[in-house]
Amino acid sequence: MSKAVVVFSGGQDSTTCLIQALNQYDEVHAVTFDYGQRHSEEIATAEKLAKQLKVASHKILDVTVLNELAISALTRDAIPVSNELMDNGLPNTFVPGRNILFLTLAGIYAYQLGAESVITGVCETDFSGYPDCRDSFIKAMQSALEQGMDRELKLVTPLMWLNKAQTWALADKYYSLELVRDQTLTCYNGIVGSGCGTCPACLLRAKGLNDYLDDKAGVMAELDAKC
């Protein structure tokens, strides 16, 4: 029996990955991390979707220690989300160490479940400049987890080389475009669906959807060529 653990935030990307995994694995488990993020709606959305999609189990882990250590617009309400880059060239929504921690804990969970894969929705094509979304980082994390636990474990990144239009096409391929469009939470201001329409996450999401709807056949062909 094939098993996978999906790192699941309830956003567009992780929900699309979860839907795909449910079509590819016999047993799919979701894990969501409460790190004291800017809006608790993210966790509530993930919980609702996990039940709706009928995953084998959904674990919500308290990792609020990250909030104490990592200063970011996503961990401090007093820091407004900005389109401006910080002095280090990164967006102020970058949470240092977040994916290192998430993938480590998801890897431990996969080990206990006997799952061969951990799936995460990180992407290097249409990403926000986060260094922990790069393919090189994922490969390094997989190597560290395999060596540290002395067991084969795949870190699967279905969206790594897809742009946002192609990610929408992937959701549509599994007949879930409306679910992802209307019920996921990507907005940095905690608004489900189309979101606030002004934060960087909403702008990227909306552009991708418009690009897909403008040329469904062409974008779907591009997706099929990559998958």
The pLDDT value recorded for residue 37 is: 77
Which strand ranges, in their side-by-side order, compose the sheet holding 154-156? 57-62, 27-34, 3-7, 117-119, 154-156
The model's confidence at residue 91, banded by pLDDT at 50, 70 and 90, is confident
Give the C-alpha separation, 144 to 204, whole Å. Answer: 32
Is the separation of the CB atoms in 196 and 189 below 8 Å? yes
Residue 14 counted as an annotated binding residue: yes
13 has binding-site annotation? yes
Confidence tier at 227 by pLDDT (50, 70, 90): confident
- What is the helix (H) or strand (E) element at residue 40, kind and residue range? none
Picking from 21-30, 121-130, 166-175, which range would have the lowest pLDDT averaged per residue?
121-130
Residue 54: which pLDDT band, with cuts at 50, 70 and 90?
Answer: very high
- Tell me the average pLDDT of the chain: 90
What dihedral do alpha carbons 40, 129, 176, 10 form, nearest 10°?
Answer: -20
Is the separation of the CB atoms in 201 and 208 below 8 Å?
no
17 is an annotated ligand-binding site residue: yes
- CATH class in words for 3-225: alpha beta
Does 196 show up as a binding residue in the annotation? yes
**pLDDT value at 44 more than 70:** yes
pLDDT tens-place string over residues 92-148: 667 778 899 999 999 999 999 999 999 999 998 765 678 888 999 999 999 999 999
Is 50 within 8 Å of 29 (Cβ atoms)?
A: no
10 is in an annotated binding site: yes
Is 133 among the annotated ligand-binding positions?
A: no
Residue spans of the domains in the chain: they are 3-225
Determine contact, residues 57/33, Cβ cutoff 8 Å.
no
Q: Are 157 and 201 in contact (CB under 8 A)?
A: no
User: Is there a binding annotation on residue 202?
Assistant: yes
Q: What is the pLDDT of residue 142?
A: 98
